[in-house]
Amino acid sequence: MPEFESAIIKTYAPNPGASMFLSDESATTKLLVRSDQAQFGLVFGASSAVGEALICATRPDEWLILGSEPAVDAAAAGIDSGGFTNVIPFTHGRSLFRLTGAHAAGLLEKICGIDWSDAMTPEGAVTSASVALTTCDIIRHDRNGIRSYLLMCDRSFGQYLFDALLDAGDEFGISVE
Amino acid sequence: MLLVPCPYCGPRNSSDLRHVGEAISRPDPNAASPEQWRSYLYLRDNVADWNVETWYCTRGCRKYFKVERNTATNEFRDPPMPGNKIGGKA
Ligand SMILES: [Zn+2]
């Protein structure tokens, strides 16, 4: 595997009074499973922790495994390789960001058409939608009770989306973490 | 805004999808006459009424699906809605 290089090449000054945070987690190991078999007992729209890895059902026939390399490898042992199943390393092909803050849903509502209320997208919900006109997989993955979202897009859109999120988060006091 | 009922994602802004067009069946290319093939390629009913259409969920689940839309009022009829579209933690 080549050494990982994030699409985020700009440097950002931290905002000391920030109440919302955006971090580049693109180096996270990502493994994509496309299959006509049910995988991990997860239906489209759900996610679940398996060991240290996070497994997300990102499409009706697609699952995404996120985590450290050993954690992803361990979780991948649970893939049902029957039927027509493809397992694709995605680490270098996608950018992954984490947006955290009490008003994170308010930021997403500005640039994405999904209903981010708890009733529609509770902790663990997985969905795909346009975020600032970029196709993203979005996972609600709260941190210590604070609302948090993982956003994954094509690597080539990474720097654009990162800046678009910072721009939309300006009114909420966002900072790069 | 047109709220399109994707059978996998639930109601979505039409900008998240692609309108493929009137749902039509493809004739057998070995058996179709030139007239039938031309009709398949170019001719549509274009009704101002209920119409079965194909949509593609570009930004969401990347699935094609058929749904009935009233082209005059933009209502959707008997849409193939999922029972529980967003699961949360399993
Ligand atoms: Zn969909």
Strand partners, A33: A63, A87
Q: Ligand 1 centroid to B9 CA: how many Å?
A: 4
Residues A162 and A134 in one domain: yes
- Residue A86 and residue A97 in one domain: no
Asked if B88 and A113 come within 8 Å (Cβ–Cβ), the reply is no
All residues of chain B having their beta carbon less than 8 Å from the beta carbon of residue A42 are 90
- Check whether B87 has a pLDDT greater than 60: no
Q: What is the ipTM of this complex?
A: 0.78
Last residue of a domain, one of A49, A71, A91: A91
Tokens of B24: 């039509």
Same domain, A105 and A150: yes
Residue B79: predicted pLDDT: 61
Give the end of a domain, one of A42, A60, A91: A91
Residue written as token pair 């947006």: A99
Domain with residue A136: its CATH number is 3.30.1360.120
Query: A82 and A110: one domain?
Result: no
Q: Are residues A135 and A77 in the same domain?
A: no
pLDDT lower than 50: segments of chain A: none
Of the pLDDT bands very low, low, confident and very high (cuts 50, 70, 90), residue B7 is: confident
Looking at residue A104, its pLDDT comes to 97
User: Is A79 within a domain?
Assistant: yes
**pLDDT value at residue B25:** 86
Smallest CA–CA separation between B49 and chain A, in Å?
28
Last residue of a domain, one of A91, A118, A143: A91
CATH 3.30.70.330 correct for B1-24+49-82: no
Cα angle for residues A108, A92, A111 (degrees, 5° grid): 10
**A77 and A126 both lie in a single domain:** no
Contact B86 A120 (CB under 8 A): yes
State the Cα–Cα distance between residues B23 and B69, nearest whole angstrom: 11
A41, A59, A120 member nearest B90 (Cβ) = A41
From A134, which residue of chain B is nearest by alpha-carbon distance?
B59
Q: What is the pLDDT of residue B82?
A: 52
What ranges make up the beta strands (E) of A37-133? 47-50, 53-59, 62-67, 85-89, 94-100, 126-131
CA of A127 to the centre of ligand 1 (A): 9
Chain B: residue nearest A40 by CA?
Answer: B90
Please enumerate in sequence order all residues whose Cβ is within 8 A of that of A24, keeping only pairs 6 or more positions apart, or say none: A6, A8, A95, A96, A97, A162, A176
In this structure, the answer to whether residues A113 and A170 fall within a common structural domain is yes
Same domain membership, residue A113 and residue A64: no
Quick check: is A70 in a domain? Answer: yes
Determine whether the interchain pair A47/B60 forms a contact, defined as Cβ–Cβ distance below 8 Å: no
Q: Are residues A85 and A99 in the same domain?
A: no
**Domains: count for chain A:** 2
Same domain membership, residue A76 and residue A63:
yes
Range of the domain at A154: 19-26+92-176
